[in-house]
Chains A and B, each alone.
Chain A
């Protein structure tokens, strides 16, 4: 029987996320994995600037808020001092793939035993819907009012594809949470990431294609449809790299 109770690793603080946003689902999946592995007391979560910056109020494990883009460096500091603890980061696309690119790539190259949960919703949600490194060509945002022009703004960043070439990576997998089947796959990927971490087998990143109905100007249901039609073709789901590095 599926368990519909709230995972222990989530607090009772009401979440501030907009209706239809998929952060809530992903938070729950991370919390379920923490519960199932029985590691809440040994886990430290790191949430940098972005919509999920206040996730320190939502997770019941010890939490650290981090500067924009710096979560993988902060996680490195925690993990190197506490190699037997579990450390995860929870980052958005602007954070992980723009301002924090260096921290992301280098934590990965070092094969840090940490797990990065990467929310790709093609926009800067918290600041009101500006172009993200993952904004699709032609996509209208506050700072691409005529649509993202690849001549002017360049091309969207495919993080899993980049990390698939990085030796320190144990897992780079792209999932989504648009329907129950995908939610189950997403949870399995997160669990895999934490297992690699448990066995000290390298850096793991789970990219979750997510929605931002508020900044996309769409209803929650329309948003799920837009994600499937537009995001998945550009960001194909699947495992890009898997295997222990040590």
Chain B
């Protein structure tokens, strides 16, 4: 076991290398640039590839090419840069390729700001690009989870042949915490377990084609339907939610990522003041942990959703709860981080209004 003190961004990068990510293609943007810096230093030492692309668009297309050849690879960016990657992510999903993308969110829209935000939730879970597709979305909440879910993202992307996204924010990316890595020999991935890869047929098999173009409507429909059947399996197996003090909670606070830690402090304070509060923290945002959230809200009378946005995940909470419980929202946006005291105040108002 190796215990290190690292920034969230550095933990992501180290974990990716330990997961066998051979190639990293990036472009500088705050607040995720430490990922590139770390990769630039470390990749050449472990036989991997770090390449700074000419744009976000080029970086995601390098990922598309590298993933087409069956090699584990990734890119990372922050909100405005992720918008530029949307086209490429759609092609990766449409060609059934595994790849990992990191979004260390900052405030938007437009150029927005460089402070932490969660305002790309809709983009991550609804519209990473054009067309009928979904991607796996993990929302870590600590530097340790940044590392743990990176490995998982690569494994699930490979297993289901679809892109996986780590949705973090500037707070998680920049803060330092101890992180533990398992002792494991670093082994760069190859294409040996990917018979579909376009890496040269070596005169041993018919040629492989990586493609998302189907001009016959019924053919394209068939592929899309097949992909959504795969998503059903993803929905069965992948949802994860951390439930804290929810067994008898009357008010459940739902929050993900760094905000969940602030909400946890608010919940603990509420308990200290005699309010039966609990925390439900989705770890997968797609597939959304609907069953797990309903279970966490079993004794709840009200639900408070708190986010660093104007309210995006709140939609999924309402859908999961099928409007059976009143759902309220408290958020800060533009890079403002909510205080536990603000969340607590909202919980108290909700309790008082019963």
Chain A interface (Cβ < 8 Å from any Cβ of B): 11, 40-44, 46, 53-54, 56-57, 59-67, 70, 73-82, 85, 102-103, 106
Task: Among B51, B58, B209, point to the contact of A65 (Cβ < 8 A).
Answer: B209
Residues of chain A with a CB closer than 8 A to B63's CB: 77
B252 vs chain A, min Cβ distance (A) = 43
Per-position 1/0 for B49-81, Cβ under 8 A of A: 101011101110111111111010100000000
Contacts of B23 in A (CB 8 A): 77, 80-81
Task: Check if A64 sits within 8 Å of B210, measured CB to CB.
Answer: yes
- A-B CB contact pairs (8 Å), 26 listed: A41-B203, A42-B200, A42-B202, A43-B200, A44-B200, A53-B213, A56-B211, A61-B200, A62-B201, A62-B209, A63-B207, A63-B210, A64-B211, A70-B64, A73-B57, A73-B58, A76-B65, A78-B65, A78-B66, A78-B198, A81-B49, A81-B66, A82-B71, A82-B199, A102-B57, A103-B61
User: Complex Cα distance A173/B347, Å?
Assistant: 71
Q: A60-B207, A65-B210, A77-B62 are in contact. Are A82 and B200 (CB under 8 A)?
A: yes
B231 within 8 A of A: no
Interchain CA distance A44-B201 in the complex, whole Å: 9
What 8 additional pairs, Cβ within 8 angstroms, besides A61-B200, A76-B65, A77-B63?
A11-B207, A62-B200, A73-B61, A78-B65, A78-B68, A81-B66, A82-B199, A103-B54
Give the residue name and chain of the A residue nearest to B72 (CB): A81
Q: How far is the CB of B209 from chain A (nearest CB, A)?
A: 5
Task: Kindly provide the distance from the CB of A81 to the nearest chain B CB, expressed in whole angstroms.
Answer: 4
CB atoms of A80 and B87 under 8 A apart: no
In the bound complex, CA of A73 to CA of B61 (Å): 6
B184 adjacent to chain A (CB < 8 Å) = no
Q: A65-B211, A80-B49 are in contact. Are A41 and B54 (CB under 8 A)?
A: no
CA distance A44 to B212 in the complex (A): 17
Residue numbers in A under 8 Å from B91 (CB-CB): 66-67
| A59 contacts across to B, CB distance below 8 A | 207
Contact call B210/A70, Cβ cutoff below 8 A: no
- B58, A106: Cβ atoms under 8 Å? yes
With most chain A CB atoms within 10 A of its CB, the pick from B51, B68, B209 is B68
**Chain A CB within 8 A of B159 CB:** no
Task: Give the 3 A-B CB pairs with smallest separation, nearest first.
Answer: A77-B65, A74-B65, A77-B62
Known A40-B203, A73-B65, A81-B71; contact A64-B55, beta-carbon cutoff 8 A: no
Q: Which residues of B contact A67 (CB under 8 A)?
A: 61, 64, 87-88, 91
Q: Is B341 engaged at the interface, CB distance under 8 Å to the other chain?
A: no
> A60-B207, A82-B199, A102-B58 known; A76 and B69 CB under 8 Å?
no
Contact of A75 among B65, B73, B88, B197 (CB under 8 A): B65
CA distance A56 to B62 in the complex (A): 19
State the CA gap A54–B211 with chains docked (Å): 9
Determine how close the nearest CB of chain A comes to the CB of B96; give it in whole angstroms: 13
| Residue of A with least CB distance to B58 | A73
B161 at the interface (CB under 8 A from A): no
**Knowing A42-B202, A70-B58, A77-B73 touch, does A63 contact B209 (C-beta < 8 A)?**
yes
Interchain CA distance A54-B95 in the complex, whole Å = 15
Residues of A near B203 (CB, < 8 A) are 40-41
Q: Which residue of A lies closest to B206 (CB)?
A: A60
B25 at the interface (CB under 8 A from A): yes
How close is B61's CB to chain A, nearest CB, in angstroms? 4
Query: Binary interface profile of B, 213-232, with partner A (CB < 8 Å = 1, else 0)?
Result: 10000000000000000000
